[in-house]
Structure 1
Amino acid sequence: MSVNSAVRVEHLIKRYGDTLALDYFDLDVHEGEIFGLLGPNGSGKTTAINCILALLTYSEGSISVFGEPLTPTSYDLKRRIGIVPQNVAVFDELTVAENIDYFCSLYVPDRKRRRKLVDEAIEFVGLEEFRTFRPKKLSGGLLRRLNIACGIAHRPELIFFDEPTVAVDPQSRNAILEGIQRLNREGATVVYTSHYMEEVEQICDRVLIMDHGRHLALGTSEELKGMIELGERITVETLDLGEHGRSAEQVLDHIRNLGFVIEAVYDGRELSIRCRRGAHNLLDVLDVLKAENVSIGHLTSRPPTLNDVFLELTGTALRD
């Protein structure tokens, strides 16, 4: 089955003076998918998007959108694209409906058709009760929804969402994520950038992890997790790891000698164990703790997350 590329970036280099913002960066977004760009602030996500949209020039490399090069004057191609920027970009002097109508008019000159599209966009983001409000009267979450409506009202085939849930409440965040998934079901290809790993894991078909302008790893969430050594993280609340005749370090050594254990640490309240993949890791750890007469409080076992993938690939946690 052949796959068409909505966006293809090859060996992209972007410099700001002596700073290398994109370092031979590669990207291939398939039509019809939600593609996640996961990386911390400063990793190059926004720079990559601005280069793709011809908002920034770049030093070397090539970019195509729907198989065509995108230049500042590729107006027909730009009509097929929507952008929801990280920073809210609306006019304070205009109402909700007027803002959406203005941005939609950049792509759709016909007023009758535009009126229908504006109404649909307002309904889509749940701002029916606020259509006559000006932005300053909206909460942060509602303002983010307005930002989205302005970017998608013209029904683009390709939509870039750049950190759309920054500083919003959980209810608005869920509404935004559900809206993005609905847009995708209705046919839009989505590029979603974030440093919130749980959002990327929740909605994206494939994920590219990047940092310092470089492509680090690409795959589904499960494929990315399969690339790392960590297979399970076990945590045990206990206050008596070092009692009953043995020191805490002796018990830790016993646990570390289990063949699947990568690391075991104890902070006086919680025992944290990083394990390789195995069918009986938790049972084997519990057998050791039982043999050492360790009292167990809250116990958890969880598979690796994309943050664990990032940590193993880069040596640092996913920073904000």
Structure 2
Amino acid sequence: MTHSTSLTFTNPILEQRADPWVYRHTDGYYYFSASVPAYDLIEIRRAKTLEQLREATPVVAWRKPANRANIWAPEIHYIDGKWYIYYAAARTTETNDGLFDHRMYVLENESANPLEGTWVEKGQIRTKWETFALDATTFEHKGIRYLVWAQKDPDIVGNSNLYIAQMENPWTLRGEQVMIATPEYDWEIIGFKVNEGAAVLHRNGRLFISYSASATDYNYCMGLLTADENADLLNPASWTKSPEPVFQTNEENGQYGPGHNSFTVSPDGETDIMVYHARNYKEIEGDPLYDPNRHARAQVVNWKADGTPDFGVPVPDGRG
């Protein structure tokens, strides 16, 4: 991976798309999914460059049924020849609006092109508890597939911690789930005690998991977990949390509450790119969740001499 590059982007790459997820497939396309402002459906789009996603026609993969609400942070993955979308949805009933009673679900599509074919519900990802759970992401390491997600432990004060477990298949966990992060620093507990929105990056002999913390206003920011690539990923002691945020609000550049990122690479595969959301204003009227202007943005990840990522600061709108 290059330590620096001249690659830049015109930000935002997509307006009103929070929790952006980008997957670059072997067909040369970037596949994009994100939370939509109404939180009522999952759309995907594809383009040969990140810039072209702006003009790409979105395809609705799935619309929420009557008993689901607040569809959050869909992630599109390609696993063993099939496409999967991981998403979180609140469970609602006639007597309970349940707007924040989220669980994690999986959709599957056997088509070669996920903009075509049929998305089939594979069901809820069952975890240790029936509690608030969201932001599932998956990765493979040394032939083993893992899930990382955020969940509320009924015995821990706070909103969500980060967990990891092995997977039996793309919608089923295997063995014990292990907590690898809990909100503990001042910058992780502003408004809410939150660790969520994990994304995995494997470089330079290490695994890095970025995540987001605090309320979804200008206090939202990103932290980082690090493990040696040869360590037992199911041992909490293998993961080290950076004591300071690695990416946060930059008033000078007019970028507020950056977070919930994903990682991808340049078309030549040589440069790591972070895709994330942020607002370009600080003050929000009402609940930040219902302010639609978290825009998807992209910028290059640089690398320090010690092999750790340098996310820098959120670049201003316009040319990055």
TM-score > 0.5 by shorter chain: no
Tell me which interval the TM-score lies in, with the shorter structure as reference length: under 0.3
**Larger radius of gyration between Structure 1 and Structure 2:** 1
Higher relative contact order (CA 8 A, sep 6+): 1
Structure with a larger share of its residues in helix: 1
TM-score, normalised relative to structure 1: 0.28
